[in-house]
Amino acid sequence: MPQDLRGSPDRTFDLTLSPEMGGSYGWLVDGQSYPDADPLQVQEGEHVRVRMTNRSPVIHPMHLHGHFFRVGDAMKDTVIVPGHMGSVTFDFVADNPGDWLFHCHNLYHLEAGMARVVEYV
């Protein structure tokens, strides 16, 4: 385990994955649809924790570009968030400045808005 991922995170994002309500086809991250979604802002060197809860009945393989993250003892860049209130938490070190897409790897979910940008500030 990288030393930078020990202890408490510097920043935590609690995100809800859900379908868009109201008859349109869309997928949301924390109630927002990409590209009209606020970025997840981080600073270089931070230990970042992302907690996701899935309020839909389908799985969402969530992928973060530009970084590897820790889930339990494994290092990954994609993790499956189970349906029906399943949840996953991962940690990463913000060590690759830029703007990086974080999205569902089901491409029709990505196309329907299930994405955010991790933005270094």
Span 60-80, pLDDT tens digits: 999 999 999 999 999 999 999
Pair of tokens at residue 91 = 């940690």
What is the fold of 3-120? Immunoglobulin-like (2.60.40)
Q: Distance (Å, rounded) from C-alpha 74 to C-alpha 70?
A: 6
Q: Are 97 and 44 in contact (CB under 8 A)?
A: yes
Q: Where are the domains of the chain?
A: 3-120
What's the pLDDT at 1? 46
What's the pLDDT at 51? 98
What's the pLDDT at 21? 87
Span 19-73, pLDDT tens digits: 998 878 999 999 999 999 999 999 999 999 999 999 999 999 999 999 999 999 9
Taking the whole predicted model, whether its pTM rises above 0.85 is answered as yes
